Amino acid sequence: MNEPLSLELKELLTELRLRGWTLIRWGPEHAPQLMAAMFQHPQDCADVFILRSQNQATAYRVPTPDSTGVFNPQAVAYQYHAPPLWTLRAILALPAPTHPQAPFCIQEPAHECFLPEGLARPVLIRPLSPSAS
């Protein structure tokens, strides 16, 4: 993740900010080990985006009926693993949980849905809102 982000990727990350997602970063700002973003829906599920590198990202929708964490899920209702631009486009285009075309089939999460062990500390959590820059 030491490479600079592309302009299009920065624009899509800004779109997450405009939609009220929260950014979570492991490691220092200048050289994070991992970045993730999540959006908690009122319908007991969350959408998650994990940026691992310039070439690898994961997105998934995870049920959260008991308000447990969204990382390292036991089950997902949707998952997508591809380069970051495609993955961000996919999660941003995902229908809302109440939409008739929203994914609802529970499936086993792929290994890409899990956070690696030994991530740097401290974990920085920063809301991405239009007022936060």
Compute and round to an integer the Cα radius of gyration of the chain.
14
Among the listed residues 49, 76, 43, the one whose alpha carbon sits nearest the alpha carbon of residue 62: 76
Integer Cα distance of 74 and 68 in angstroms: 11
In this model, does residue 128 exceed pLDDT 50?
Answer: yes
Contacts of 29 by beta carbon, 8 Å cutoff, 6+ apart: 124
CB 49 within 8 A of CB 36: yes
How far is CA 133 from each of CA 12, 71, 91, 98, 129, rounded to the nearest angstrom? 15, 25, 22, 30, 8
Read off the pTM: 0.86
CB 39 within 8 A of CB 15: no
In this model, does residue 130 exceed pLDDT 60?
Answer: no
Residue in this structure with the two tokens 């109440």, named with its chain if needed: 98
What average pLDDT score do residues 71-98 get?
94
What average pLDDT score do residues 50-55 get?
89
pLDDT in tens, 4-36: 677 887 787 788 888 888 888 888 877 788 889
Position 123 scores a pLDDT of 72
Domain limits, the chain = 7-117
3-class DSSP assignment, residue 112: helix
pLDDT in tens, 87-126: 999 999 999 999 999 998 999 999 999 998 888 775 767 6
